[in-house]
């Protein structure tokens, strides 16, 4: 078999990027394998409700799964940084899928533990994919891939809930079983790619027990990402509350989709420009856009279409921010810790998103929808201040020694 020609230098449009060898295979297989991220939270809630449990139990199941993802992702990624991708991803995919599939038939006392295991074993395809981009693309094309990746992941949170609703037609357990099957198939598709099979972790004798957390600048960047996650966690709740406040609860899914549409547009538009931009400057600009657009939503316009436009606008700045963060993580991660560094980034984002949803819920219950969006804007403003420290080289050096 002849080897494909190396990717040409320079930036490409998203379509041109997808035509390069292995790019479409890696991106789409990772999206399929990650689809449970957009399916399981809703599937757990619907399963709990359909079996007679309250929202409190549904929340506990979802929290257990999310906690598992936050802890398991970095652990499995550290193993990948040492032993390669295949064994960790396949083992994680099998264990997580089995846990999701059997959860509906586990006695209620053990369901929380099974949900936690499903999260802990979730294969970290997201950091695995971002670790592979430099091996299949030229250095100048990697930023474009990061931007396309950031945009495409919005599909997970649009298609995932739709898949659950279809699967639930087969019964209360349908969403969880579907997530188990889809996740395992996507994982196997990803690890069967030549890029994943051929990738070998760099050999570094100077491994520190802290892994990527030995880089103080990286830790500072993670703290900013927690705040960005908080911002992004607000709309999922606040937009539902807004829809109810204007007397049209059916408007909520459209508003959530509008936010995802804005992110998709932002990512596709930024992808061909990313190689020619300074990620340090664009990170600050993107965070500034998030501050302004979320502050505008805090006005809570009474006209739904105006709110819809603001919601689209609030999604535009996220992909450029994530693209720049991906580049900085790739640069700041100590040698041999890149996959784990991306996994900690995801965990930081998940923690912030959970806090944002909780804060938005409390404020929405009190009828203060505008305050929820103000909190989101304020969180991003603080993230902007922290990011300025990172891009200017602050936060201290990489820790050395044991």
Q: How confident is the model at residue 205 (pLDDT cuts 50, 70, 90)?
A: low
Least confident of 76-80, 160-164, 376-380: 160-164
- 387, pLDDT greater than 90: yes
Judging by beta carbons within 10 Å of its beta carbon (0-12, 13-18, 19+), is residue 62 exposed, middle or buried? buried
Least Cα distance to 129 among 97, 85, 188, 87 occurs for: 85
The residues facing 215 across adjacent strands are 398
In a domain, 77, yes or no: yes
Judging by beta carbons within 10 Å of its beta carbon (0-12, 13-18, 19+), is residue 397 exposed, middle or buried? exposed
- Average pLDDT over every residue of 302-327: 93
Judging by beta carbons within 10 Å of its beta carbon (0-12, 13-18, 19+), is residue 27 exposed, middle or buried? buried
In a domain, 301, yes or no: yes
pLDDT score for 206? 63
Give yes or no: residues 223 and 296 share one domain. yes
Angle made by CA atoms 219, 222, 226, in degrees to the nearest 5: 140
| Whole-number average pLDDT of the chain | 87
Residues 6+ apart with CB under 8 A from 371: 298, 363
pLDDT score for 402? 29
- 397, pLDDT greater than 50: no
Concatenate the DSSP letters of all residues of 201-257 into one string: PPP-S---TTGGGGBHHHHHHHHHHHHHHHHHHHHHHHHHHHHHHTT-TTHHHHHHH
Dist CA 276 CA 283 (whole Å) = 14
- 395, pLDDT greater than 50: no
Give yes or no: residues 145 and 252 share one domain. no
Least confident of 21-25, 43-47, 341-345: 43-47
In a domain, 3, yes or no: no
Residues 6+ apart with CB under 8 A from 351: 70, 226, 229
Give yes or no: residues 156 and 217 share one domain. no
Higher per-residue pLDDT: 203 or 307: 307
Give yes or no: residues 92 and 222 share one domain. no
Q: How confident is the model at residue 208 (pLDDT cuts 50, 70, 90)?
A: low
- 128: domain range? 22-198
Q: How confident is the model at residue 274 (pLDDT cuts 50, 70, 90)?
A: confident
Give yes or no: residues 178 and 315 share one domain. no
pLDDT score for 55? 61
Least Cα distance to 29 among 140, 201, 142, 195 occurs for: 195
Dist CA 92 CA 73 (whole Å) = 10
Dist CA 20 CA 96 (whole Å) = 32
pLDDT score for 316? 93
Query: In a 3-state reduction of DSSP, which class is residue 172?
Result: coil
Q: Which of 165, 198, 231 is the last residue of a domain?
A: 198
pLDDT score for 1? 36
Give yes or no: residues 270 and 163 share one domain. no
The answer to whether the CB of 175 falls within 8 A of the CB of 42 is yes
Give yes or no: residues 238 and 376 share one domain. yes
- Average pLDDT over every residue of 309-323: 94
Dist CA 260 CA 108 (whole Å) = 35
Give yes or no: residues 170 and 258 share one domain. no
Dist CA 220 CA 120 (whole Å) = 25
In a domain, 16, yes or no: no
Q: How confident is the model at residue 6 (pLDDT cuts 50, 70, 90)?
A: very low
pLDDT score for 336? 85
Q: How confident is the model at residue 4 (pLDDT cuts 50, 70, 90)?
A: very low
Give yes or no: residues 56 and 166 share one domain. yes
- Average pLDDT over every residue of 310-334: 92
Tally of domains in the chain: 2
Most confident of 244-248, 324-328, 397-401: 324-328
Give yes or no: residues 128 and 153 share one domain. yes
pLDDT score for 51? 80
Give yes or no: residues 217 and 178 share one domain. no
pLDDT score for 209? 67
Neighbours of 166 (CB within 10 A): 12
Least confident of 202-211, 216-225, 252-261: 202-211
Least Cα distance to 226 among 331, 349, 51, 141 occurs for: 349
Q: Which of 198, 233, 266 is the last residue of a domain?
A: 198
Q: How confident is the model at residue 153 (pLDDT cuts 50, 70, 90)?
A: confident
- 330, pLDDT greater than 50: yes
- 8, pLDDT greater than 60: no
Q: How confident is the model at residue 398 (pLDDT cuts 50, 70, 90)?
A: very low
In a domain, 205, yes or no: no
pTM of this structure: 0.83
- Average pLDDT over every residue of 199-226: 82
Give yes or no: residues 273 and 377 share one domain. yes
pLDDT tens per residue, range 106-128 = 987 789 999 999 999 999 999 99
Dist CA 236 CA 241 (whole Å) = 9
- Average pLDDT over every residue of 45-62: 78
């Amino acid at each position: 078999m002849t080897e494909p020609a190396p990717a040409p230098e320079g930036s490409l449009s998203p379509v041109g990027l997808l035509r390069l060898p292995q790019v479409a295979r890696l991106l789409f297989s990772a999206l399929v394998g990650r689809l449970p991220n957009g399916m399981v939270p809703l599937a757990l809630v619907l399963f709990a409700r359909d079996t007679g449990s309250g929202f409190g139990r549904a929340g506990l199941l979802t929290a257990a799964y999310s906690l598992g993802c936050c802890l398991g992702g970095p652990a499995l990624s550290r193993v990948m940084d040492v032993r390669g991708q295949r064994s960790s991803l396949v083992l994680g995919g099998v264990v997580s899928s089995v846990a999701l599939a059997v959860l509906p038939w586990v006695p209620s006392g053990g369901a929380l533990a099974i949900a936690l295991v499903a999260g802990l074993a979730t294969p970290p395809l997201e950091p695995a994919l971002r670790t592979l981009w430099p091996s299949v693309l030229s250095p100048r094309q990697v930023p474009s891939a990061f931007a396309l990746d950031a945009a495409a992941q919005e599909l997970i949170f649009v298609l995932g809930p739709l898949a659950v609703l279809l699967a639930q037609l087969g019964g209360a357990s349908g969403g969880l079983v579907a997530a188990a099957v889809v996740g395992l198939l996507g994982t196997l598709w990803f690890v069967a790619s030549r890029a994943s099979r051929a990738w070998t972790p760099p050999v570094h004798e100077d491994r520190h027990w802290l892994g990527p957390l030995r880089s103080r600048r990286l830790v500072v960047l993670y703290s900013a990402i927690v705040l960005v996650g908080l911002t992004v966690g607000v709309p999922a709740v606040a937009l539902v509350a807004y829809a109810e406040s204007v007397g049209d609860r059916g408007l909520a899914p459209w508003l959530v989709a509008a936010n995802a549409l804005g992110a998709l547009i932002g990512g596709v538009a930024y992808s061909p420009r990313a190689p020619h931009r300074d990620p340090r400057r664009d990170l600050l600009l993107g965070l500034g856009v998030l501050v302004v657009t979320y502050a505008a939503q805090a006005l809570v316009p009474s006209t739904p279409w105006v709110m819809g436009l603001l919601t689209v606008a609030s999604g535009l700045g996220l992909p450029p921010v994530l693209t720049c963060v991906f580049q900085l993580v790739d640069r700041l991660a100590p040698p041999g810790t890149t996959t784990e560094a991306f996994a900690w980034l995801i965990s930081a984002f998940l923690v912030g998103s959970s806090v944002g949803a909780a804060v938005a819920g409390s404020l929405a219950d009190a009828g203060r929808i505008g305050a929820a969006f103000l909190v989101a804007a304020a969180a991003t403003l603080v993230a902007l201040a922290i990011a300025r420290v990172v891009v200017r080289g602050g936060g201290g050096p990489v820790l050395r020694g044991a």
